[in-house]
Amino acid sequence: MAMPSVSTPAAPTAVYVAAVPLRGPKGPAQLLMSAGYSLGLWDLQHFMVLLRPDPVQAQALVFDFQPRDPEDVLAALAVLSRSEIPGVVRRRTVRRVPNRRCWLVGRCCCDGGDAVAAADRFSEQWPTGLVVGEHDCRDYTNGLVEVLTGEKRVLESLRLSRSGGSTSVSGAAPP
């Protein structure tokens, strides 16, 4: 007599925050941003959310918000003057979660448990007028992580953990 198969519930999706160098126009601006990233200057980094729905697979989905053309000189001028520029919310797949400047910030606890669908809904509703320092990748990252995990102001928690302060972010470690 065959035993009925028992399915195990899927593990909640792992939610990460990653930092990469800001992109800018080729030349001195791009060199400045790369140097700032190399030195770990928090304000010269681009933040994004990674979801790893399947712990068995290494690949992850990346969600982020950036200028439509980050290498455009006019975009750089708008950033300096704090003017609004067209932004774009992106979703793409990466082969693996980065091992540098990437922090596990929690597991999805959103209604229905479908982190990808929740991230897609959040992204569809995100206003795409980008103003650096007011409505940028940091705001997008904080908002999406809050929707997925309930963690508020995750970037502030990560920044405090880097400077020796305590943090409630689970699994966060300095790069």
pLDDT of residue 41: 52
Between these two residues, 153 and 30, which has the higher pLDDT value?
A: 153
Least confident residue range of 12-16, 20-24, 73-77, 168-172: 168-172
Q: Which two tokens stand for residue 101?
A: 């400047």
* CA separation for the pair 172, 142 (Å, rounded): 15
pLDDT of residue 3: 54
pLDDT above 90: percentage of residues in the chain: 50
Radius of gyration of the chain (CA): 18
Contact indicator for 34, 21 with CB cutoff of 8 Å = yes
Contact indicator for 148, 108 with CB cutoff of 8 Å = yes
